[in-house]
Amino acid sequence: MKNKIKDIIIALFLGNVLNYVEQSILESSFLLDFIKDNLVMLLIALLAINSTTLALVMTKIKDLIDKTNRKDSFQKTKKEMLFSVKEHIALIGFVILLLIFNSSPIIKEYKQAITICNVLLVSSMIYSLQMLYDVSKSAFIILDFDDK
């Protein structure tokens, strides 16, 4: 849980920095325009990649369980994998709500609310990439595992 909180804080920090650099220093809107147009589809694609990677990892874990006859060895790992999928689905829902909120004409009157929305959108993209990294890292660890 501490790692999740740390990852969220890092994503929020980087999202804030990227948003500030893009909006205030570079006076650009490329990243935010890209995110507004593509983030939901990007998150769905990353969920598909993560799910496929998790299936690969689960297959290897199943082989290890079959070889060792220790069925309870990876219970925590399985729960974390399921949590990862649920977390990704929740992130997609959160982003959809943010995009609805961000496109509301009522919100356009409040500059701080738009900035917060933009930071949260960029942070969501960064966090989803962090989730992809974590799942990919687990795949390499389990594939390199030598059960001898």
Q: What per-residue confidence (pLDDT) applies to 146?
A: 61
Which residues, other chains included, contact 14 with Cβ-Cβ below 8 Å and sequence gap of 6+? 122, 123, 126
pLDDT digits (tens, 9 = 90+) for 98-122: 999 999 988 888 889 999 999 999 9
Give 22-30's long-range contacts (Cβ < 8 A, gap of 24+).
Answer: 23/115, 23/118
Give the C-alpha separation, 143 to 125, whole Å.
27
Give the C-alpha separation, 123 to 18, whole Å.
9
Which residues, other chains included, contact 89 with Cβ-Cβ below 8 Å and sequence gap of 6+? 47
- DSSP state at residue 107: G
Is residue 124 over pLDDT 90? yes
Rounded mean pLDDT of 69-96? 86
Give the C-alpha separation, 60 to 135, whole Å.
14
